[in-house]
Amino acid sequence: MAPSARRSIRKKAAVSGTGLHTGVRTEATFLPAPAGQGIVFRRVDLAGKPEVPARLSEVEAVERRTAIGKGETTIHTVEHLLAAVAAHEIDDLTVELTGPEPPILDGSFQPYFEALAHAGPTETSGEPVILTVPAPFTVTDGDSTYVVAPAKELRLTVTIEWPHPLIGRQSGSYTVTAQAFAAELAPARTFGFVSEVESLKARGLIKGASQANAILLDERGLANGAQLRWPDEFLRHKAADIVGDLALTGARIRAHVVAERPSHSGNIAVARALARASRTSGAAPKMDIGRIMDVLPHRYPFLLVDRIIEVEGQQRIVGIKNVTINEPFFQGHFPGHPIMPGVLIIEAMAQVGGMLLMGYFEGQNVEDKVVYFMSLDNVKFRRPVVPGDQIRFELEMVQFRGKTCKMKGVGYVDGQVVAEADMMATVVDR
């Protein structure tokens, strides 16, 4: 049964310090947010104060940290902050940053968890999005292997292994509630090895690392007489990293994740698989073709959406297009070798996005309005779409002002990306 309401915070709270990888001093300020917004970072140090939603579509890098955003808006090392947000089950939050990376603080999740506790997590309106798993599945990413199974809460069973006398092979199991996270995971600090320092610095990383914000290991043990908070502090930190990376699904997760040698890359692969394989509750009702035709003006042969299967407030939508050999365009594209035209794949994606945009005008006469797409950027086609395929389009609202919006869309067939695009659209009267 879904919780009764979404959660934000009552008042603002802030932490400040140096970023682990960028070395830039930054203040992170937590602010209450309206129900349905989700978790959004705002770069107040940049012109226009650009916003980056904490979503999988924004993941930019997974080497030694999880980074989201693009170009100058990139935000590094979001996993510690997001783990604390997820542990408090906060659904809607604005995080203002005065730099490119939330501060590393003492290297653990605890300062963020305590700052959010001070901000007063509180119920707002609307239902939270809950991801549940209908059946077990496996994800492999490099040396990382995961099994994800149904559960009534978020449970982690984690194993790590390093050829170091203080680590070796460590395993542990944790149920992620606010209380358990605070006691068992939040104080666990990030760690690294003396042997890797020069290599990481050469790649532009760990510019802000110090003995005050990370556990440093030499060949024999802890460098410079540092003390561990638990003998398996390394394991606990890697477990909490999973919580932070999975928060990029934008949902509360109810599943048992069994992780062998987890990594940020593997965690993100699991998050993507969860988003595709899970059942979603707390979202708006599904929309069949009748409802779609009430909203969109398109008709045969140009109505290219068959069903809307997920809606998360006004932030995200998932729609389905079933591709059959009866499609009229297959007569000419191409005889004997039917392939769905790329322009129609993007058109179908845009129609799903139109359904999301029309949601902003709920309660008005949507039949008197139409969506015009104004621009397409970063369009990529990854593989052909052929008869018998079912395209799953996932679109997220990046920005909405007045009657104009920016959306990011991705199309999948059998879990593989077939197309992606950034779109700008506006709503006009018919």
Q: Which residues are catalytic?
A: 264, 333
Q: Which of 158, 427, 114 is nearest to 295 (CA)?
A: 427
Strand, helix or coil for residue 92? coil
Give the distance from CA 210 to its chain's centroid: 29
Q: Which of 419, 420, 417, 418 is nearest to 408 (CA)?
A: 420
Q: Which of 275, 346, 277, 347 is nearest to 317 (CA)?
A: 275
Helix%, strand%, coil% for the chain, nearest 5? 25, 35, 40
Burial class (CB in 10 A: 0-12, 13-18, 19+), 23: middle
> 186 near 108, Cβ under 8 Å?
yes
Task: Take residue 253 and report the two structure tokens written for it.
Answer: 């997760």
Task: Take residue 164 and report the two structure tokens written for it.
Answer: 């170091």
Strands (E), 163-219: 168-175, 191-193, 215-217
Residue 9 host element (H or E): strand 7-9
Q: What is the DSSP string of 254-316?
A: EEEEEEES--HHHHHHHHHHHHHHSEEESSPPPB-HHHHHHH----TTS----EEEEEETTTE
State the CB neighbour count (10 A cutoff) for residue 126: 15
> 34 near 116, Cβ under 8 Å?
no
State the CB neighbour count (10 A cutoff) for residue 428: 9
> 99 near 301, Cβ under 8 Å?
no
Cα–Cα distance between 193 and 13 in angstroms, integer?
33
Tell me the CB-side half-sphere exposure of residue 48, using CA atoms within 13 A. 6
